[in-house]
Amino acid sequence: MAELNAEFRGYRSPLSTRYASKEMQYLFSDQHKFSTWRKLWILLAKAEKALGLDISEAQIAEMEKHVDDIDFKAAAAEEALTRHDVMAHVHVFAKQCPLAAPIIHLGATSCFVGDNTDLLVLKDALDQLLPKLVGVIKQLAHFAMQYRELPTLGFTHLQPAQLTTVGKRCSLWIQDLLMDERALRACRDNLRFRGVKGTTGTQASFLQLFAGDGAKVRQLDQTVTRLAGFERYYAVTGQTYSRKVDLEIVSALASLGATVHKMCSDLRLLASRKELEEPFEQTQIGSSAMPYKRNPMRSERCCALARHLITLQANAANTLATQWLERTLDDSANRRLTLSEAFLSADACLLTLLNISQGLVVYPKVIERNIAQELPFMSTENVIMAMVKAGGDRQVCHEKIRVLSHEAGAQVKQHGKDNDLVERIRADPYFAPILGQLSSILDPKTFTGRAAEQVVEFVTEEVNPVVALYADRVVTKSAQLNI
Q: What is the pLDDT of residue 134?
A: 96
Q: Is residue 388 part of a domain?
A: yes
> Which residues of the chain carry a pLDDT beneath 50?
283-285, 287-292, 480, 483
**Torsion of the alpha carbons at 220, 225, 228 and 232, rounded to the nearest 10:** -170
Quick check: is 428 in a domain?
yes
Tally Cβ neighbours within 10 Å of residue 78.
20
What pLDDT is recorded for position 149? Answer: 96
Q: ∠408-410-411 over CA atoms, to 5°?
A: 65
- Integer Cα distance of 131 and 138 in angstroms: 10
What are the residue ranges of helices labelled H in 97-156? 110-146
Query: pLDDT, tens digit, for every residue of 187-212?
Result: 999 999 999 999 999 999 999 999 99
> Given this model, what pLDDT does residue 290 score?
47
For residue 90, being part of any structural domain is answered with yes
Residue 419: inside a domain:
yes
Domain count, the chain: 2
CATH number assigned to the domain comprising residue 50? 1.10.275.10
Number of Cβ atoms within 10 Å of the Cβ of 92: 22
End-to-end CA distance of the chain: 26
Question: Catalytic residues, which ones?
Answer: 157, 287
What pLDDT, on a 0 to 100 scale, did the predictor assign at position 481? 53
- pTM score, two decimals? 0.89
For residue 478, is it within any domain?
no
- CATH no. for residue 422? 1.10.40.30
Among 74, 106, 138, the domain-final residue is: 106
**Which one of 50, 85, 106 terminates a domain?**
106
| Domain-terminating residue out of 106, 126, 154 | 106
Closest C-alpha among 360, 363, 403, 357 to residue 380: 403
In a domain, 43, yes or no: yes
Q: Is residue 53 part of a domain?
A: yes
| Structural domain containing residue 376 | 366-446
Q: What is the pLDDT of residue 2?
A: 55
Q: What is residue 288's predicted lDDT score, i.e. its pLDDT?
A: 44
Using CA atoms, how far apart are residues 271 and 314, in angstroms rounded to an integer?
A: 32
pLDDT of residue 280: 67
- Identify whether 381 is part of a domain: yes
Q: What is the Cα 54 distance to its own chain's centre?
A: 47
pLDDT at 287: 47
